[in-house]
């Protein structure tokens, strides 16, 4: 035991210690008694100095011999005072999460989604709020630094709880500043980060984050080449793994298998890429699995997906948010329009989504302009204060 149990029964002394002779301290001769000073005459008391002479220094005590009991913790002559902490104590080694072997990216994406769902349901917050684990996977996929997966994983795994939550906020803020149209579509993924008591979810957030890192989220989405980032749809696997069977049946949500999407894309494109500016429309797109296959097919034909228009509609907001994430991860370019609504009831939502997209870019530019003016004003005031201070001197 490393601590003293005040309520434990008295432990008998081991026979080894009872047989050992008790150590004795070396005895020194007691100092001789000082003779009592002779009484002074009353007349001499007035002329004596007011300070008494310093007593003679006492001799240093003889060193105590070291016995066997001293070398043991809690020995008879052990110093009861704790050892002072050393200023050269080693710093704990940083945490490092070793990702599993990826292998087939599509199988890896499925394993990642299933592992994230299992970790989330095993945590204290499992069973509901599936937007949180989906948001974590999306945030890691959107991490703006590409090509440095080991460094990014080490930084994330060693964050404090506050830094981890703040990091996800900054990822989505960075995404909104560059793509406000897709950032607004990701609103279902960002709401939990602004709720009160979000710190209480830090334990579950960290567990899901570590699971996603261990199952290779950065290896699947952190390559600088968008072709290598488009091998699998991590958002689809995560959402479908978290969704219950009853919810899938109620929503009619069954994502098309990637192999079938690949075959359909090759039949649609053929051996020659379409003309630039052509629009691809998916009225029930889910997380965009069909667009993934089509973009890969275009790249294999030496065409750039950014030269085309991508229009997707999805009924379920979380899946539409996943499609917005994938549009950035897969590098579909600036001409992506994602609508969220019922195609059968509302018809083609493309024109409405285009108007919303234009309004969002305009709003972003106005906010950025105000921030630039505010920053310039602060710099001007600081400069004025410095000049006034110099003139006063």
pLDDT per position as a tens digit, 138-160: 999 999 999 999 999 999 999 99
- The tokens for 113 are 């989604």
Dihedral sign, Cα of residue 219, residue 224, residue 228, residue 233: positive
Q: What is the three-class DSSP state of 168? A: helix
Decide: 138 and 132 in contact? Cβ < 8 Å: no
Tokens of 146: 């590409």
As a whole number of angstroms, the distance between CA 291 and CA 208 comes to 28
User: pTM for the full model?
Assistant: 0.71
What is residue 11's predicted lDDT score, i.e. its pLDDT? 41
Interval 157-190: pLDDT, tens: 999 999 999 999 999 999 999 999 999 999 999 9
Do the Cβ atoms of 380 and 196 come closer than 8 Å? no
C-alpha neighbours within 13 Å on the C-beta side of residue 282: 27
Bin 74: left if φ > 0, else alpha if -120 < ψ < 50, else beta. left
Asked if 72 and 19 count as a contact pair (C-beta separation under 8 A), the reply is no
d(CA 41, CA 184) in angstroms, rounded, equals 103
Place of tokens 């709003």: 363
65 CB-near residues (< 8 Å, 6+ apart) = 23, 26
* Residues of the chain with confidence (pLDDT) below 50: 1-30, 40-53, 64-91, 249
**Alpha helices per DSSP H over 129-257:** 131-141, 149-157, 161-178, 180-185, 187-190, 202-214, 217-221, 226-229, 234-242, 245-251
Average pLDDT over the chain, rounded to an integer = 79
As given in the structure block, the two tokens for residue 205 are 């957030």
Residue ranges of the domains in the chain? 105-348, 359-393
CA distance 110 to 89: 44
Give one word for 262, left, alpha or beta, with left for phi > 0 and alpha for psi -120 to 50.
alpha
């Amino acid at each position: 035991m490393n601590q003293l149990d005040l309520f434990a029964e008295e432990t008998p002394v081991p026979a080894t210690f009872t047989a050992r002779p008790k150590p004795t301290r070396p005895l020194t001769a007691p100092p001789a008694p000082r003779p009592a000073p002779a009484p002074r005459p009353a007349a001499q008391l007035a002329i004596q100095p007011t300070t008494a002479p310093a007593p003679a220094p006492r001799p240093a005590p003889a060193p105590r011999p070291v016995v066997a009991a001293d070398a043991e913790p809690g020995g008879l002559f052990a110093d009861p005072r704790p050892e002072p902490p050393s200023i050269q104590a080693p710093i704990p080694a940083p945490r490092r999460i070793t990702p599993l072997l990826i292998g087939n990216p599509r199988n890896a994406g499925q394993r990642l989604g299933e592992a994230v769902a299992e970790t989330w349901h095993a945590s204290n917050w499992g069973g509901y709020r599936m937007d949180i684990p989906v948001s974590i996977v999306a945030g890691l996929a959107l991490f703006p630094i590409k090509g440095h997966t080991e460094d990014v994983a080490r930084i994330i795994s060693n964050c404090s709880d506050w830094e981890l939550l703040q990091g996800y906020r900054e990822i989505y803020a960075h995404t909104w500043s560059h793509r406000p149209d897709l950032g607004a579509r990701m609103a279902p993924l960002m709401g939990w980060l602004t709720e009160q008591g979000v710190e209480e979810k830090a334990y579950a957030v960290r567990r899901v984050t570590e699971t996603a890192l261990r199952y290779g989220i950065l290896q699947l989405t952190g390559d600088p080449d968008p072709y290598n980032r488009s091998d699998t749809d991590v958002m689809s696997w995560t959402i479908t793994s978290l969704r219950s069977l009853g919810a899938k049946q109620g929503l009619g949500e069954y994502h098309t298998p990637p192999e079938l999407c690949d075959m359909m894309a090759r039949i649609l494109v053929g051996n020659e890429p379409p003309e630039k500016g052509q629009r691809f429309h998916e009225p029930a797109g889910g997380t965009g699995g069909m667009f993934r296959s089509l973009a890969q097919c275009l790249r294999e034909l030496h065409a750039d997906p950014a030269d085309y228009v991508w229009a997707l509609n999805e009924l379920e907001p979380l899946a539409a948010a996943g499609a917005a994430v994938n549009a950035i991860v897969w590098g579909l370019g600036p001409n992506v329009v994602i609508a969220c609504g019922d195609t059968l009831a509302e018809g083609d939502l493309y024109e409405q989504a285009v108007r919303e997209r234009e309004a969002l870019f305009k709003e972003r530019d106005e906010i950025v302009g105000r921030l630039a003016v505010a920053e310039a004003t602060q710099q001007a005031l600081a400069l004025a204060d410095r000049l006034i201070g110099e003139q006063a001197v």
